[in-house]
């Protein structure tokens, strides 16, 4: 099992290992996960909800259900 960590900054921008991601790139990264793997979403408390929903919708579309959430202050 592995983890992929996606970070959402205060501006709602998505990152993987400090590398900015578009929605398409997010989808590509999440396709590397299997249903047994964990998606970790680290979101700034000031981030807009839409970015979070985008990540969650993409994960759901790919059948991922192991999702951990962290809020960054």
pLDDT of 73 higher than 80: no
Q: What is the pLDDT of residue 38?
A: 95
Tokens 């709602």 found at:
12
pLDDT at 1: 79
Q: What is the pLDDT of residue 58?
A: 96
Read off the pLDDT of each residue in 61-69 and give the average, rounded to a whole number.
95
The pLDDT tens digits for 4-63 are 999 999 999 999 988 999 999 999 999 999 989 999 999 999 999 999 999 999 999 999
């Amino acid at each position: 099992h592995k983890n992929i960590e996606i970070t959402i900054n205060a501006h709602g921008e998505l990152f993987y290992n400090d590398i900015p991601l578009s929605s398409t790139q997010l989808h590509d990264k999440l396709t590397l996960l299997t249903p047994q793997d964990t998606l970790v979403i680290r979101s700034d408390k000031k981030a807009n909800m839409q970015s979070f929903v985008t990540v969650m919708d993409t994960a759901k579309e790919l059948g991922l259900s192991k999702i951990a959430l962290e809020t960054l202050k």
